[in-house]
Homo-oligomer: A and B are copies of this chain.
């Protein structure tokens, strides 16, 4: 029996992370990690959950945008959606009047993503599988039927997408077994927030190394002398064999990025992340050429498949950091994963923020099992915040995500957390 989506509930959930400067970087100095949180109620069986990740103020706008799109979801049966996933996703991303607010970018696109992801969560829960497994069980034709190829046909045709998926298909069982055995490799961003003191940086490095991490990312971008000092501390802590990444969160102009990376190159970073404006494909290409062999990583605010397409075409991105909430849900992510495979760019998803680790562990697992040419350089971000609010929190062993087992997309928050952190009515905000 098919479920009908009877209601779309949206809530404004904010965590006051700015009080400890968790998540602080060169551009976002005091974020309150937050979520526009969606619940799809149905007439039968489980609910579907989804969210847009936000930084505090502005969550109300994502909540509003999800409500403005919700008439396209309310009243639909899950079967009718899954029978035409491409059409469903286009109905949200290209609603004829609402699209003007993007098109396919910003608040309205993130809102579409929250709804589309909630539908996938619902589908996976009803199917009794974690999302990665549900996707890994789909045929190449079924997966390709989810993708909107509009505007990317010059980089990836449906036929090429089928080819990539069919090439990987025979290796799916072995790759799945490997992930079950070893987990998904990660790096941690939790030691190197910009607002942390040198001492806190040192002690957190030690702590995470003891827990099994060997890859560390630190924030840079406000003052190059500070960046050099902190990079030296981090390199000293992790030794020559540890992996160091640096992340400027779009702080620099193109010439600045090239200049500052000369000072950081001696510490041998694997990548410079978001060296400049995330819209600047040509700027990233210039930086990539100038700073090689250091790679350029970007993607967490790369707003749609057309931007990713250009980053790949222009060789402007050495590491592809898809974001599960910025893009229009699982469907658009799959399009980007396939383009990354075609252009042979490793996918290292963004998982700072709240709930992003829950999401991207599924995407990373699916990518490795069914899409990616290899696991080389594939690492997923890990941060240590706010996991306690989820019904099925991520499981980390020896610095690796363990394959999730609970049905769904893993984003369901505890009722208690939803009530306590609802803005502005929850107890956590009562004193403010």
Q: Could you list which residues of chain A lie within 8 angstroms of chain B, going by C-beta atoms? A: 27-32, 54-58, 60-62, 64-65, 68, 94-110, 150-154, 250, 253-256, 276-283, 286, 301, 303-304, 306-307, 309-310, 313-314
Contacts A151-B253, A277-B306, A310-B282 given; does A62 touch B106 at CB 8 Å: no
Contacts A100-B58, A107-B106 given; does A279 touch B304 at CB 8 Å: yes
Interface centre among A29, A256, A310 (most CB of B within 10 A): A310
Of the residues B32, B64, B104, contact of A60 by C-beta under 8 Å: B64
Q: Is the CB of B255 within 8 A of A96?
A: no
Q: Is the CB of A154 within 8 A of B65?
A: no
Q: Who on chain B is nearest to A278 by CB?
A: B103
Alpha-carbon distance between A279 and B279 when the two chains are bound, in angstroms: 9
Find chain B residues with CB under 8 A from A278 CB: 103
Q: Is the CB of A95 within 8 A of B57?
A: yes
Report the minimum CB–CB distance from A402 to chain B (whole Å).
30
Report the minimum CB–CB distance from A196 to chain B (whole Å).
18
Report the minimum CB–CB distance from A67 to chain B (whole Å).
9
Q: Nearest 8 CB-CB pairs, A to B?
A: A106-B106, A57-B97, A151-B277, A56-B97, A58-B98, A55-B100, A55-B97, A154-B254
Copies of this chain in the oligomer: 2
Report the minimum CB–CB distance from A339 to chain B (whole Å).
13
Find chain B residues with CB under 8 A from A54 CB: 97, 100-101
Contacts A103-B250, A106-B102 given; does A276 touch B95 at CB 8 Å: no
Q: Is the CB of A154 within 8 A of B58?
A: no
Q: Is the CB of B103 within 8 A of A253?
A: no
Report the minimum CB–CB distance from A101 to chain B (whole Å).
5
Q: Is the CB of A55 within 8 A of B103?
A: no
A-B contact pairs, 8 of them (CB 8 A): A60-B68, A103-B250, A104-B277, A105-B106, A106-B106, A107-B107, A151-B280, A281-B282
Of the residues B27, B94, B286, contact of A99 by C-beta under 8 Å: B27
